[in-house]
């Protein structure tokens, strides 16, 4: 029963464009503010900014909607301005209009509406509520990972942020070299799941910056909401040459404050940058006579041992003198063949955030980062354990729902955790969801062992996928996916959820198949904006690899070994985790495999 006595007028905003070519203001960045949420708007030309929202942003009367502009004034001062929108005015003339135009001080703003304004009846108590993804609650509590990065100019902060979070020109977009506004919130258009605060570090003779940083951390620590608190600090140093000084006076004071508890429990991780240059220096100092007769691997091990000893002397020793042993450190390089060093930094950060801040913040740390696929697996499991995965066999929320609706919330949670740069929302589209459903269905038809797949069983998962990607990724021909897209062949998705062995198999298969397709997509996309072509390549590569057959064999074997009574929720969750961990690829393997794969052209794009 639906009560139609009160109707909510709703707007769906699918895009915004800002044209300030006739304005004297030097607009540096813009973001749409919906309540407390900020959605950054990308620059699309020198004087135009544009952003598409997929899925569209939903606004109802009573919501607040504004546009926040950040612009540079004379003498390099930064100004902010909020342009408010009247939702009553936007909704009123709704007869088929698809755009809302607003002018403000010669700045032209166009809001693209999806379907105009609609009236939605308010549900009464007997209306079945829509299934909500578990990530909805996490994002409401902690929509972004908030990090402060401290370091001198030239230490490599920009490269570090760009690589760790898969964005472009993070710090360069915030201010000019040598400048830093610690209170400025930088949110990247390519990855809006982290907020960056930048500090120029503790230069000699500028010890006052310690007070600025300390006050900033104190203010953020006292904020009530988790989304406003600071979640981690990276304190960056370039590895000095032998005899060089690592810590300036201001840095020593900062570390002493941390050791004395004056900064609270905020995780501080010391980051030693440009590890690749340091390794090259160590290599040049080796006596060539000591390398005679050694294998390449033995030489690498010798260099690493010598580098570790030197690092302990010039970096770790001085650090522990002031910080103690409780401040962790990571040695990183942003070069492609050292991706595992960035993964280790992210792992340390996530562990500290989980221990000292909050679980939601640690999950958002894993979501925001784009260098460690293993952490994506871990975060997916953490999210799944909160509700849906741990109760697949007895989930009351799934009762009287179609399988399609139940799979939707599982799909949304997993895709959100992987956090690809997907401005068109391809991974949330019905076309992609149908492709995954049909893959689950097709892999479960016929004999459980495909002789064509067993040829490559002895190869590693990543090696097999790399070989297939190389074959499929030719620039000329379109990607052919041997699965029907756009039409659901698997009619069982329209059935109402009812517990059975087959249903559990399909749910497990959907979760694991989708996760491993996204892992393959991570391998081939390399942080670029997603296209349908690249997504199809990932699906086709996973489907053709021995991994897909092995996964389904293991799921079917699990079903045969258990009776329905024995297949409790805990056993089902354990099986999902077992399969995901078995086929998870770490950052070092990713780097090695990417070197074997040709560049995948994402443009021109192609239909599903």
DSSP secondary structure of 308-364 = HHHHIIIIIHHHHHHH-TTS-EEE---SGGGHHHHHHHHHHHHHHHHHHT-HHHHHH
> Would strands 145-150 and 26-34 be described as parallel, antiparallel, or unpaired?
unpaired
Q: Indicate if the pLDDT at residue 121 is higher than 50.
A: no
The CA distance from 510 to 442, in Å, is 12
User: 520-557: buried (b, 16+ CB within 10 Å) or exposed (e) per residue?
Assistant: bbbbbbbbbebbbbbbbbbbbbbbbbbbbbbbbebbbe
In the chain, where the domains are located: 2-127, 139-371, 374-594
pLDDT of residue 75: 55
Condensed to tens digits (0 to 9), the pLDDT of residues 415-436 reads 999 999 998 889 999 899 999 9
Superfamily of domain 139-371 in CATH is P-loop containing nucleotide triphosphate hydrolases (3.40.50.300)
**End-to-end distance of the chain based on CA atoms, in angstroms?**
39
CA angle centred on 518, ends 513 and 520, rounded to 5°: 95
pLDDT of residue 360: 96
Q: Radius of gyration (Cα) for the chain, nearest Å?
A: 26
pLDDT of residue 453: 40
The reported pTM is 0.78
* Segment among 172-186, 406-420, 495-509 with least mean pLDDT: 172-186
Q: At a CB cut-off of 8 Å and minimum separation 6, what does 211 contact?
A: none
| Residue 561: burial class (beta carbons within 10 Å; 0-12, 13-18, 19+) | exposed
pLDDT of residue 412: 95
What is the mean pLDDT of the segment spanning 563-578? Answer: 71
Residues 67 and 33 sit within 8 Å (Cβ to Cβ): yes
Using alpha carbons, select from 34, 67, 357 the residue that is nearest to residue 223: 357
Condensed to tens digits (0 to 9), the pLDDT of residues 434-489 reads 999 988 988 765 434 443 343 333 345 566 666 666 666 665 567 777 776 666 66
pLDDT of residue 465: 63
| Residue 322: burial class (beta carbons within 10 Å; 0-12, 13-18, 19+) | middle
The CA distance from 323 to 106, in Å, is 53
- Give percent above pLDDT 90 in the chain: 30
| Residue 258: burial class (beta carbons within 10 Å; 0-12, 13-18, 19+) | buried
Question: How far are the Cα atoms of 96, 121, 356, 542, 606 from residue 434, in angstroms, in the given order?
Answer: 31, 29, 41, 16, 17
Q: Which helix (H) or strand (E) holds 506?
A: helix 501-525
The CA distance from 416 to 249, in Å, is 43
Condensed to tens digits (0 to 9), the pLDDT of residues 356-365 reads 999 999 999 9
Mean pLDDT over all residues of the chain?
81
Condensed to tens digits (0 to 9), the pLDDT of residues 152-172 reads 888 999 999 999 999 987 665
| CATH 2.60.40 given to domain 2-127 | yes
């Amino acid at each position: 029963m639906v009560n139609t006595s009160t109707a909510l007028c709703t707007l769906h905003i699918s895009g915004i464009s800002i044209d300030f070519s006739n304005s004297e203001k030097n607009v540096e960045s813009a973001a749409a503010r919906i309540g407390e949420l900020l959605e950054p708007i990308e620059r699309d030309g020198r004087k135009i900014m544009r952003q598409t929202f997929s899925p569209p942003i939903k606004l109802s009367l009573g919501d607040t909607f504004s546009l926040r502009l950040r612009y540079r004034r004379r003498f390099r001062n930064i100004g902010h301005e909020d342009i408010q929108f009247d939702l009553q005015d936007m909704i009123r003339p709704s007869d088929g209009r698809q755009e809302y135009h607003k002018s403000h001080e010669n700045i032209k703003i166009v809001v693209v509406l999806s379907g105009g304004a609609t009236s939605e009846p308010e549900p009464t108590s007997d209306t079945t509520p829509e299934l909500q993804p578990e990530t909805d609650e996490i994002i409401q509590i902690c929509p972004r990972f908030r990090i402060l990065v401290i370091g001198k100019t030239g230490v490599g902060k920009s490269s570090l942020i760009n690589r760790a979070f898969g964005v472009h020109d993070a710090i360069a977009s915030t201010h000019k070299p040598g400048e830093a506004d610690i209170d400025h919130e930088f949110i990247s258009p390519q990855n809006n799941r982290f907020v960056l605060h930048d500090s120029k570090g503790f230069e000699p003779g500028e010890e006052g910056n310690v007070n600025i940083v300390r006050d900033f951390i104190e203010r953020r620590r006292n904020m009530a909401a988790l989304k406003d608190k600071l979640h981690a600090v990276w304190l960056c140093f370039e590895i000095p040459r032998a005899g060089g000084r690592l810590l300036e006076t201001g840095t020593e004071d900062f570390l002493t404050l941390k050791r004395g508890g004056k900064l609270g429990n905020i995780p501080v991780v010391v980051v030693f940058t440009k590890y690749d240059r340091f390794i090259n220096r160590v290599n040049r100092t080796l006596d060539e006579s000591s390398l005679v007769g050694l294998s390449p691997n033995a030489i690498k091990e010798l260099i690493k041992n010598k580098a570790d000893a030197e690092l302990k002397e010039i970096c770790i020793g001085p650090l522990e003198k002031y910080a103690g042993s409780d401040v962790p450190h990571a040695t990183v390089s942003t070069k492609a063949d050292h991706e595992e060093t960035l993964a280790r930094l992210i792992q340390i950060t996530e562990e500290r955030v989980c221990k000292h801040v909050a679980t939601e913040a640690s999950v958002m740390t894993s979501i925001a980062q784009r260098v460690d696929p293993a952490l994506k697996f871990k975060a997916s499991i953490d999210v799944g354990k909160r509700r849906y995965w741990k109760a697949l066999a007895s989930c009351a929320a799934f009762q009287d729902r179609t399988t399609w609706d139940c799979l939707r919330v599982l799909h949304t949670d997993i895709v959100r955790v992987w956090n690809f740069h997907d401005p068109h929302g391809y991974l949330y589209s019905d076309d992609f969801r149908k492709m995954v459903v049909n893959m689950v269905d097709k892999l479960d038809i016929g004999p459980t062992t495909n002789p064509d797949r067993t040829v490559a069983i002895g190869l590693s998962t990543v090696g097999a996928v790399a070989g297939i990607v190389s074959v499929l990724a030719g620039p000329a021909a379109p990607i052919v996916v041997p699965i029907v897209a756009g039409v659901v062949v698997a009619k069982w998705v329209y059935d109402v959820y009812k517990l059975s062995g087959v249903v559990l198999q399909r749910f497990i298969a959907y979760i694991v198949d989708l996760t491993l397709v996204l892992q393959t997509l991570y391998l081939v996309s390399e942080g670029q904006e997603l296209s349908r072509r690249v997504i199809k390549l990932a699906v086709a590569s996973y489907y053709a690899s021995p991994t897909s057959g092995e996964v389904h064999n293991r799921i079917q074997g699990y079903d045969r070994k258990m009776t329905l009574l024995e297949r409790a929720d805990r056993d089902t969750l354990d099986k999902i985790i077992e399969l995901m961990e078995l086929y998870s690829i770490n950052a070092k393997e990713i780097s090695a495999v990417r070197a074997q794969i040709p560049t995948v052209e994402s443009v021109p794009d192609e239909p599903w």
